[in-house]
Amino acid sequence: MLFFILKRCLLSVLTILGVVTVTFLLMRVAGDPAALLLPPEAGAEDLARLRVALGLDLPLHVQFFSFLGHALLGDFGDSLREHLPALPLVIARVPATLELALSAFLVGITLAFVCGLVIRLVGSTMLRTVIMWFALVRQAMPVFSFGILAILIFSVWLRWLPSLGRGGIQHLILPAFTLGTYELALYLRLFNLSLSAEQRQDYVRTAYAKGQSRAVVILRHMLPNALLPLVTVAGINLGLMLGGAVVTETVFSWPGVGRLIVDAVSQRDFPVVIAGVFVVSLIFVLINLAVDILYGFLDPRVKLG
């Protein structure tokens, strides 16, 4: 177990380094931030002076190694717009993103778990078809379309829920439901396939032969084993939600890391973009590591090494 954790930690460090390096290069290719910071009437001399002040006149490899040396100490530079350290700006947005991602994760998993169990316990083909149809229709709709439709129905027409911003639980319902239901069809299909595979196992037939009821066999015997694939996929999707909540945060004006990165990209605010990508990548690899370790504990057949 210790060797596995050390190996994954090393791979995680290399992954984050690769992501940050690619982001650094892409941001340099995207354009010159000095041109955005200066007013339209600024001349070439003003532009050159600002480039020198920002260190953008240096060769690309010099800029990269200088950035890397400071980044290892937790210094990603100052925001070109806010004139504040970039990393604290990003970290200040992390609670909002975690709140949205975790809430959406719980919504998706809970709905899949409840619907999957209802389908299996009732045993109705018609009910299974109806539930899967609604889940597939939801997945076919892009997040921004579903979010705008939800705002139109629940905020504009019914006036039940607020449409924008972060506040109480009312502000969280629409964005969490929008993001959390996107993978509902995937969770349901995976859960049903896993339960179907377990139903063919010998221990299930033995349990039925002992006279145990359908509900007892499903809940006590089949469910713990059927949850393993769902835990793995859901853990990966939780990491994806942290980085993929950009559209949801934009539609609902949610003040998270994703929206901050989008705004920084449009402004070519290099330090904020790279700091944001670093934080999201770090959270993503930590979640994946936790899922792998949890999988090993849930299934004794899995050997971590």
Query: Quick one: what percent of the chain has pLDDT higher than 90?
Result: 8
300-to-4, 174, 293, 295, 304 alpha-carbon distances in Å: 15, 39, 11, 9, 10
61 burial via Cβ count (<10 Å: 0-12, 13-18, 19+): exposed
* Residue spans of beta strands (DSSP E) within the chain: none
Band (304; pLDDT cuts 50, 70, 90): low
Coil vs helix vs strand at 74: coil
Contact criterion met (CB below 8 Å) for 179 and 150: no
Neighbours of 235 (CB within 10 A): 19
Residue 300 has pLDDT above 80, yes or no: no
Rounded to the nearest 5°, which phi and psi values hold at 85?
-55, 135
Overall pTM > 0.75: yes
Domains of the chain with bracketed CATH = 87-298 (1.10.3720.10)
User: pLDDT per residue over 256-284, tens digit each?
Assistant: 888 888 888 888 888 898 998 898 888 88
User: pLDDT per residue over 52-64, tens digit each?
Assistant: 887 877 888 888 8
Contact criterion met (CB below 8 Å) for 275 and 87: yes
User: pLDDT per residue over 16-71, tens digit each?
Assistant: 889 889 988 887 777 777 777 777 777 778 788 878 887 877 888 888 888 888 88
